Structure 1
Amino acid sequence: MNRLDVTEAIFAIKKEKELSWEGIAEAIGMSTVWTTSACLGMNSCPSGAATKLVEFLGLPEEATRVLMEYPTKEWDKSVPQDPLIYRLYEVVGVYGDTLKEVIQEKFGDGIMSAIDFSMEVDKEENPKGDRVILTLNGKFLPYKAW
């Protein structure tokens, strides 16, 4: 099995068993966003999480090793076509420079880590239309001079 085989198997089992990402995450004791990302092949699973995921979903044993492999994080560099992903791309395009300016004004010259990082997706019910709340929480990493 390779990473794509495991991801396809996870999607098939998720659909067949009518599971949610939240339910899978709860079953293995990890966050919903992290679990989904790991199942999509963008994060490596620690041994315990990989074992729990394989057992919970009934994946072949060899999937444990694949889930624990360090991924090469790559994606298509073209403009995304999926409307939801495109809107996030648009947010970064419109507000990226603004975020950079505000973050560097508050913290100094540096970046937000995507390694020492967590993310939550929440829903706020609103009579004018439900709201999506994305919380990105990354450690500030200052640039060093030497």
Structure 2
Amino acid sequence: MNKLDMTQAIMVAKETKEVSWENIAEAVGMSPVWTTSACLGMNSMPSDKASALCQYLDLSAEVREALEQYPTKVWDQAVPTDPLIYRLYEVVGVYGPTMKEIIQEKFGDGIMSAIDFNMSIERKEDPKGDRVIVTMDGKFLPYKAW
């Protein structure tokens, strides 16, 4: 089973069981963001986590094996058309250079790791309309000179 088939099987089981990503993450013992990313094929799961997910969603050993496989992280290079993903793309397009300037001013010449990284997504009630809070927490990796 490949990652695409794996994701489809997980999505069908999630919908059939009427569970949320938070429910699945709780059953796996990991964060909702990381669990969802692994289920969408962008991360691999350790064997115990993949087994817990498959047991929770009543999925096959083939799905477990696919969850454990190392991913090839590829995404479309075109501007995304999904409105939510496009807005995140727009945030990086508009504020990316600002983020780079401020990060490098505070830390030096380097990057924020997407490997040693945590992210959370929260909802904040607001009388003018609920707010989305996305927190990204990545290790700073300085560029080396040699």
1:53-132 aligned at under 5 Å gives the runs 53-132=53-132
Mapped partners of 2:26, 2:75: distance in 1: 27
Structure 1 unaligned segments of length 5 or more: list them. none
SS in 2 for 1:112: strand
Provide, for residues 36-77 of structure 1, a one-character-per-residue CA deviation record: whole Å limited to 9, x for no partner: 000000000011111101111111112211101110000011
Return the alpha-carbon distance in structure 1 between the equivalents of residues 62 and 86 of structure 2.
Answer: 35
Percent identity over the alignment is 68
Instruction: Give CA-to-partner distance per residue, 1:87-125, whole Å, 9 cap, x none.
Output: 000000000000000000000000000000000000100
How large is the Cα RMSD of the aligned pairs? 0.6
1:35 Cα offset (Å): 0.5
After TM superposition, the score normalised by the length of structure 2 is 0.98
State the match for 1:2 in structure 2: 2
Give SS of 1:41's match.
coil
Secondary structure of the 1:80 match is: coil
Q: Distance in 2 between matches of 1:18 and 1:2?
A: 24
* Counterpart in the other structure of 1:52: 52
User: Runs in 1 of length 4+ with deviation above 6 angstroms?
Assistant: none
**SS state of the match for residue 127, structure 1?**
coil
User: Which one-letter code corresponds to 1:51 in the other structure?
Assistant: S
When the two structures are aligned, how many residues end up with a matched partner? 146
TM-score (norm 1): 0.98
